[in-house]
Amino acid sequence: MRTHANESRYRRIMAGADVKVSSQTATRMLQALSAAGWGCHQIAAEIGGHGHHISELRAGNQDLVKQSTASRITAFFRAREGSPNTGHGAKRARAWAMKQRWHTAHCWDDIVTDRHPKCRDQCFGVRDIDEKIRALNAKGMPDTKIAQALDRTCSNITFRRRAMGIPAVRKATA
């Protein structure tokens, strides 16, 4: 027996509104946006969704996503592909992406097919960050100054430095 709700859902499915697609591309795009400083709540506000849903999708906890949601994520991603976020929450989003080892779109062949010429300078992979922390620490720079230089949080720099076994630089007292 068909009800009105079932009939309405059937019409939406036939029109392509509720079709579910693989979430892999949307997940990778959301991870790349996080690496560029875009938080889940900012993305959700722009595409018309909920921050928790975007967070779950970004973490890879959903296998399927509605075609309409995937299309809105793709449009948001394409519009902001080359522009990192410098607004509220950008440092936090970048620090979270770095902790999760997510990279910007320039580092991923399956999102952007042409390699960006400045990929090494713009994509802060874990090894690149470690090298820069090691070099700046060797110059006698404290964690706070390293964090400012690399546009990261101080706690992130401290965590990476400790993981590499590098001692902290003490401030000179006069």
Token readout for 150 is 């690399």
**Tens digit of each residue's pLDDT (9 = 90 or more) over 99-115:** 888 887 766 654 443 33
Identify the H or E element spanning 20: strand 20-22
Note the pLDDT of residue 72: 92
The whole-angstrom separation of Cα 93 and Cα 35 is: 7
Statement: residue 80 has pLDDT above 90: no
Token readout for 64 is 């399927």
Note the pLDDT of residue 54: 92
The whole-angstrom separation of Cα 144 and Cα 158 is: 9
**Tens digit of each residue's pLDDT (9 = 90 or more) over 114-170:** 334 344 344 445 567 788 888 999 999 998 888 888 877 787 788 788 888 888 887
The whole-angstrom separation of Cα 23 and Cα 16 is: 16
